[in-house]
Amino acid sequence: MNLAHHLLRAAKVNASAPSLLKGLVPVADYGRLAATTASLAAALRQRFSLARGDRVALLMKNVPDYVACLYACWHAGLVAVPVNAKLHPREVAFILENSAAAVAFVTEDMAGVASDALALSATKPRVVEIGSAEYRGLEKTEGIGVADVSATDPAWIFYTSGTTGRPKGAVLSHRNLLAMALNYLAEINPLVPDEALLHAAPMSHGSGLYMIPHVLGMGAQIIPESGRFEPDEILELTARRGGISFFAAPTMVRRLTVAAGAAGTHAPGLKTIIYGGGPMYVADCKAALDVFGPKLAQIYGQGETPMTITFLPKQMHVDDGHPRYEERLASVGFAQSVVEVRTVDDAGADVAPGMIGEIIVRGDTVMSGYWQNPDATRITLRDGWLYTGDMGSFDADGFLTLKDRSKDVIISGGTNIYPREVEEVLLRHEAVAEVSVIGQPHPEWGEEVVAVVVPVAGRMVKREELDRMCGEWIARFKRPKHYFVTSELPKNSYGKVVKTQLRTFLGERSGRLAPMD
């Protein structure tokens, strides 16, 4: 089933219901949104001669038009490729080239990034700027019917940060996303028409994925006037409108809690905060519950099985009479109903409760594979199971606690940063012999990026040189916040850097690591 049928259904059943709002100002009802989507779909197929299965990139910050562009891709039988607006032009160029995107919708503030990316990419998609005369002309094209697609056809290619230096595109089908949406409505956050999803987090990621169940449930989409997460703005919105839910990283929850406490408000219009994408400390969770009440729901997932591995529902966040209440708050909950979840050893055998193993998942939400990357697909998908690379343990009641991330991902402000990407850039410097990138705790962002450098014998490395090199190759948010110099990196018998020991050295400030000038 084509996901675009959800929008068409809403337009027939409830055409005058608000579908898009900028702040609290209605931008479109469901009738208008469906008509605009059908027109954009026709333009993609007819004016740009795209065929079923072709890819369309969305290099856009959060704007109301994002919804129409995404659903237009599906309406036309095309594949959406949402691109993180924080990425460096080189990273954007790789995604455009790897996906072979034929068209790229860009917001005005991303036009410069798009131009720089095109100069670096062998793929030259047709760029259409949102709000331009060309775009408004596309909106006037006579609409077409919803394309007939298979449930297993790709709908969304989600590019993860690259553990091997290059991003990988997780291919998510219409069936994958429908299963996610139905599970959301059944377990995470049931809703009724006129409730709203607030897009404070990027629509290219989790917030955009949750757009799907809210269209299915005929709810509204609210894009903040700022287009981003601003605590005071969210508090103002939830003071003036009810039934608002949003997806947030734990760092965002923490910042909103502090802002609400300072303002003396409990955000009365807030219905649900669905949080995930990084560790939520028990103290921060309790603080948020004290301010907002029983409005927190936790999810754990990956781009390869979007938002759908485990969850901790609202009622369990406030079940403080349970003997293992705090342990459950520190967990990521239990398996969502749409998937099976196991923890296994290196041989793929289940480990006992309380023992640590790799978390593996199977179900209708799991991707079909990585786009144009059969080797990575074979490693990650084995015998019908998704091997997440995350380590954790189940307790006897089926609650999962994350213990470590075997991929060494750093989560800063809810955004994944893979050390290998940063390390490869730093190793371009001729005076860097070795480098290891790790995360260290940060009170606001969860973690921050730290680089430990071994210089070439007899050479010096300056911080500004490494910063400049990072600026040429990777997004700003991936750059190390601190640099340290050491004579050698701790390694095991196989020659692999022992990052746990590096973190110990960093915490001890023992003199093994010297701050870089």
Task: Concatenate the DSSP letters of all residues of 305-339 into one string.
Answer: EEEEEEEE-HHHHS-TTSTTHHHHHHS--EE-TTE
Residues 185-201: what's their mean pLDDT?
95
65, pLDDT greater than 60: yes
**Distance separating alpha carbons of residues 473 and 125, to the nearest angstrom:** 22
pLDDT interval class at 161 (50, 70, 90): low
14, pLDDT greater than 50: yes
What would the pLDDT profile of 389-421 be if each residue is shown by its tens digit?
998 999 999 999 987 666 678 888 888 888 888
The predicted pLDDT at position 443 comes to 87
Residues 165-181: what's their mean pLDDT?
94
**Distance separating alpha carbons of residues 313 and 280, to the nearest angstrom:** 14
**Distance separating alpha carbons of residues 438 and 434, to the nearest angstrom:** 14
- Is residue 2 within 8 A of residue 74, CB to CB? The reply is yes
What would the pLDDT profile of 246-286 be if each residue is shown by its tens digit?
999 988 999 999 999 999 999 999 999 999 987 788 889 99
Q: How many residues does the chain have?
A: 517
Name which residue leads in pLDDT, 494 or 386: 386
Half-sphere exposure of 502 (CA within 13 A, CB side): 26
The predicted pLDDT at position 495 comes to 64
pLDDT interval class at 500 (50, 70, 90): confident
Residues 165-176: what's their mean pLDDT?
92
- Is residue 233 within 8 A of residue 224, CB to CB? The reply is yes
Residues 356-379: what's their mean pLDDT?
96
Q: What is the pTM of this model?
A: 0.88
The predicted pLDDT at position 166 comes to 79
What would the pLDDT profile of 76-112 be if each residue is shown by its tens digit?
999 999 999 999 999 999 999 999 999 999 999 999 9
The predicted pLDDT at position 380 comes to 96
162, pLDDT greater than 60: no
160, pLDDT greater than 90: no
Helix then strand then coil, in percent of the chain rounded to 5, is: 35, 30, 40
In the chain, the domains with their CATH numbers are 410-515 (3.30.300.30)
**Distance separating alpha carbons of residues 310 and 185, to the nearest angstrom:** 15
Average pLDDT, the chain: 94
The predicted pLDDT at position 512 comes to 82
The predicted pLDDT at position 163 comes to 46
- Is residue 70 within 8 A of residue 82, CB to CB? The reply is yes
**Distance separating alpha carbons of residues 317 and 147, to the nearest angstrom:** 42
